[in-house]
Amino acid sequence: MSNQPDVSRSAVVTPLRVAIALCLSAPFVAMLWVGSYARTDPAFIGIPFFYWYQMLWVLISTALTLTAYQLWKRDQRARVGRKGGAER
């Protein structure tokens, strides 16, 4: 048994995976930074900023998660393509 790591199974940081991580971490950062939205003004159709800002992030988070999923599928297809091409 060798002590060499299996390169095919190791995690590789690519620009695509960095974009996925940013898409998935942006909603957490936005919601954990309470000081940025802990106020009532500006109100939108009578709803205080505190509430509509959080509801807006529900929609933004959905879009970012969908984007991350599409990028992940693209990354997996590329990995399978590289793996299949290397074995030929």
Helix axes 15-32, 49-87, angle to 10 degrees: 160
Distance CA 9, CA 15 (A): 18
**pLDDT of the chain, 88 residues: tens digit per residue:** 566 655 555 578 889 999 999 999 999 999 999 888 888 889 899 999 999 999 999 999 999 999 999 999 999 988 887 776 555 4
> Contacts for 40-47 with beta carbons within 8 Å, 24 or more apart?
none
Radius of gyration of the chain (CA): 20
